[in-house]
A = this chain, B = another copy of it.
């Protein structure tokens, strides 16, 4: 059974704090191994990547076979059943439609002193997307990473997706195709991250790397950060459901299990203002675990990290939610908009009982790459801006420089930076001379 908490209990604060601090991930320290792999790839390029792929993925490659050929991609895509192709196409279309609205605007204006100011956004030139192999090879994640990059206008999109024992996922290749990616390397691990960051004879380096991965991939992304940009380092998935008694306990139980089935380290929490409903959901979860295909994963997640919190009212639920700062937040209450207005920190919010979180994983449109481990306090889900950067711009006229230059001289002097001041003073002297 999961933990049961009640905000009226004397030990609630202590137990709730412990729940927040619970360490769910025991990431192995692979940093030394990863450092050696990166150094090897930087030194020996393709040869290192090929050796490491033979070692870790039991796959023999040459520089010529590192990437899937167009024929291999077309052939794999041809195997995808029409129903799956249609579903993936609808998902791609809806994700694109959502993210297109995130394209930022340039700005330029002239201020009262005559200074022209503004900024200009532009895409990164090249991005690399990591797609894990094996069980965690999710075509939906390809769409969620690649489409924002494509919408941003990234010129060159590369995917690295390991194919252990040579086994690839046709849906991943189709998702790449639908997202405008045609360069897909069948490599993975820290060696793939190093190859994308530094380049090899065959693999052109990129400027930004995103996508989930195991401990080796995460450590490699941390190490190449600075040389290239990276997205967040994602932790295990989480859901918080706030539900009143006017819900089907079976639906809420399934929603909780839809995070628990991701990973034994995932965390599912229910907050409700009705103690009977809390019990009903707990019973429903137990019942569903009897038949759930991935019960061997969802069960331990629910027992070890799950929690059901009974509170006095929905305002209290909102306060608790902000302390959790959940990755996913379902508001299954009569007036979800009113409750949403009280929420400050959450990655993605799902309003009302007709919006199960799984809709957001696949087809809703918003991104499913979201801040975990309470980082929704300070970060956002993956979005178009992650693949763009802003250049600021300023243009002074002589009049503008006369208006604001003297203050810059004063401040430069106060910071002891003589050339800073002189660069303004020389220009002002010319203006004064011209007028004299």
Docked Cα-Cα span, A350 to B423, in Å, equals 13
Number of copies of this protein chain within its complex:
2
Min distance, Cβ A212 to any Cβ of chain B, angstroms: 13
Q: Is the CB of B393 within 8 A of A91?
A: no
Is A86 among interface residues, defined by CB-CB distance under 8 A?
Answer: yes
| A→B interface (CB under 8 Å) | 83-84, 86-88, 90-91, 94, 97-98, 101-102, 107, 109, 111, 115-117, 119-120, 122, 124-125, 135, 138-140, 171, 207-208, 226, 228-229, 233, 248, 250-251, 254-255, 257-258, 260-262, 288, 292-294, 298, 336, 340, 343-367, 371, 373, 375-381, 383, 385, 389-398, 400-401, 404-408, 410-412, 414-424, 426-427, 430
**The one of B359, B395, B407 that contacts A394, using a Cβ cutoff of 8 Å:** B359
**How far is it, in angstroms, between the C-alpha of A357 and the C-alpha of B229 when the chains are bound?**
26
- B292 to A419, Cβ gap below 8 A? yes
CB <8 Å contact, B351 and A394: yes
- Set B86, B117, B122, B410: member contacting A407, Cβ < 8 A: B86
- Contact indicator B261/A420 (Cβ below 8 Å): yes
Q: Please state if A408 and B359 are interface contacts (CB–CB under 8 Å).
A: yes
Find A423's partner among B125, B358, B373, B380 (CB 8 Å cutoff): B358
Check B351 against A94 for contact (C-beta < 8 Å).
no
Given contacts A376-B389, A408-B358, contact A419 B346 (CB under 8 A): no
Pick the 10 closest A-B CB pairs, nearest first.
Answer: A229-B378, A366-B392, A351-B395, A356-B423, A87-B407, A87-B410, A257-B419, A358-B420, A380-B390, A258-B419
Known: A124-B378, A298-B419. A395 touches B363 (CB 8 A): no
Q: Tell me which residues across on chain B come within 8 A of A361, comparing CB atoms.
A: 408, 412, 420
Contact A392–B367 (Cβ < 8 Å): yes
Query: Once the chains are docked, how many angstroms separate the CA of A362 from the CA of B208?
Result: 31
Q: Is the CB of A84 within 8 A of B422?
A: no
Q: Which residues of B contact A355 (CB under 8 A)?
A: 394-396, 401
Interchain nearest-CB distance for A258 vs B (Å):
4
